[in-house]
Amino acid sequence: MATSSSSTLSSPFLRLEFPSARKQRSSNYVPFIRASVSEKPPPAVSVTSPEPTKLPIRKIPGDWGLPVIGPLKDRQDYFYNQGRDEFFKSRIQKYQSTVFRTNMPPGPFITFKPNVVVLLDGKSFPVLFDTSKVEKKDVFTGTYMPSTDLTGGYRVLSYLDPSEPKHALLKQLLFFLLKSRRAHVIPEFHASYKDLFNQLESNLAETGKASFGDANDQAAFNFLSRSLFAANPADTKLGQDGPKIVQKWVLFQLGPVLRLGLPQFLEESTIRTFRLPASLIKKDYQRLYDFFYSSSSSVLDEAERLGITRDEACHNLLFATCFNSFGGMKLFFPNIIKWIGRAGVKLHARLAQEIRSAVRDAGGEITMAAMENMPLMKSVVYEAFRIDPPVPLQFGRAKRDLLIESHDHAFQVKEGDLLFGYQPFATKDPRIFERAEEFVGDRFVGEEGEKLLKHVLWSNGPETESPTLGNKQCAGKDFVTLVSRLLLVEFFLRYDSFDIQVGTSPLGSKVTITSLKRSSF
């Protein structure tokens, strides 16, 4: 039977954790993801410093310009005249400040409230995670919110603030899903990405090159479907169409803030001026919904027990799987291959040696415990998250008047101001990281390296903290870390080294494999 919201919020809280590498385990032990239970959801934890009192207070520089004209000018600079990184760099130089005012796309005519206070350093940025100071309601995509017609008429979890009762219920449902399917993650990843490697090798043999992204899209969707829902898309009416439908559906949501590579006039007169009608994607979305509904019976049963309707639960499962998880793997996996490929054969050899040795010591099996004994591999994953986070834009609305610190000044923010942070600038802050613009594979190895993990912020929170019902940190943080590690483990068990070519796409890097050297030891 469904329970009331009040009773559900006091039910046991499930938290996903990685086991400690210090504990001795048999070589065939496969713990995957462990769940611990506490009686009550912990309160939201402040990750910002106390109200600043020592730094000089400076007026926030910059302005928003005239209505309509200012936002349109900033939009032209952001997408076309300068590009995103130069847009922010030029304003840091102009104002001599990492905190300033500007407008963020899309602006008119999709939204007439594009005004933001920008936070571009590692000290000010974390206020965006502090739900005692900022509200996260309807700011997942920034200064506008896509139509709920694209999500079944519901505001899904990503758009909810932790103060809203549904937030805890829906996040608890995702914890339940991850915990209940933990034993299937490693074997299903192996099966799905074995198919990917076979496809890459076949394409290389035929044409001398292979698109990693195309193969990864199908492998990621298959893996998520099989591991989380015990469903093989190829055996259903959905077939192999899942990744293409998801990509189209995401375009309807994020189109206003994407650079598609079309002529400027065409982009400006279409995706930046009006919303693409949800009716155009309705039939395709229904195919995704039917697939997840028919594959999620046990999770939907749990949803009803928590007091969530099966329909709302299914739309949230679809969003979490397709937008959050699949979207993350689509963006991040090519990025990590890009950075490791560019790092060269010395890093490849070190990774191959470490990974193969740890797996041999674990009796030839890939286990969570074995991966805890791969410090370089773990560091490489963290470094990829640091230098190229899969979700680079973060937003939050000030709940009250605040003082926010950068390294040099404090700034007064008014209640209701929309705060925005461009994460790659915060995680490449040269006052926190040495050689901040470089990919340093072993940056997080050892005691001193591990101290820097609190500044790795890819998951909508610090790497050193965990998702809870009371915060907005990614519910699947540990899951995403695990599958990213699995990618490297599977890759370097099979290959000694590889070569790539890198281009760009609307959703991240376009990586083409040009050679793969099979394992020689």
* Residue stretches of the annotated binding site for heme: 474
Longest dimension (CA), the chain: 67
How many other β-carbons are positioned within 10 Å of the β-carbon of residue 277?
A: 11
Q: Which token pair is 290?
A: 């039917």
Nearest to 332, CA basis, from 93, 69, 508: 508
CA distances (Å), 462 to each of 117, 451, 465, in order?
A: 21, 12, 6
Q: Contacts for 427-435 with beta carbons within 8 Å, 24 or more apart? A: 427/122, 427/385, 427/386, 427/387, 427/389, 427/455, 427/456, 427/457, 427/458, 428/386, 428/387, 429/121, 429/122, 429/123, 429/455, 431/121, 431/122, 431/407, 432/122, 433/386
Secondary structure (3-state) at 14 = strand
Is residue 475 within 8 A of residue 339, CB to CB? The reply is no
Secondary structure (3-state) at 458 = strand
- Cα–Cα distance, 141 to 151 (Å, whole number): 14
Is residue 133 within 8 A of residue 400, CB to CB? The reply is yes
Angle at 324 between CA 41 and CA 380, to 5 degrees: 90
Q: In what order do the strands lie in the sheet with 99-103?
A: 99-103, 115-119, 418-422, 393-398, 134-135
Is residue 330 within 8 A of residue 217, CB to CB? The reply is yes
Is residue 215 within 8 A of residue 199, CB to CB? The reply is yes
Is residue 168 within 8 A of residue 469, CB to CB? The reply is yes
Looking at residue 16, the DSSP 8-state letter turns out to be: E
Binding-site sequence positions? 474
Residues facing 101 on adjacent strands: 117
Is residue 462 within 8 A of residue 47, CB to CB? The reply is yes
Residues facing 15 on adjacent strands: 36
CA distances (Å), 144 to each of 105, 112, 183, 224, 251, in order?
A: 9, 9, 39, 29, 14
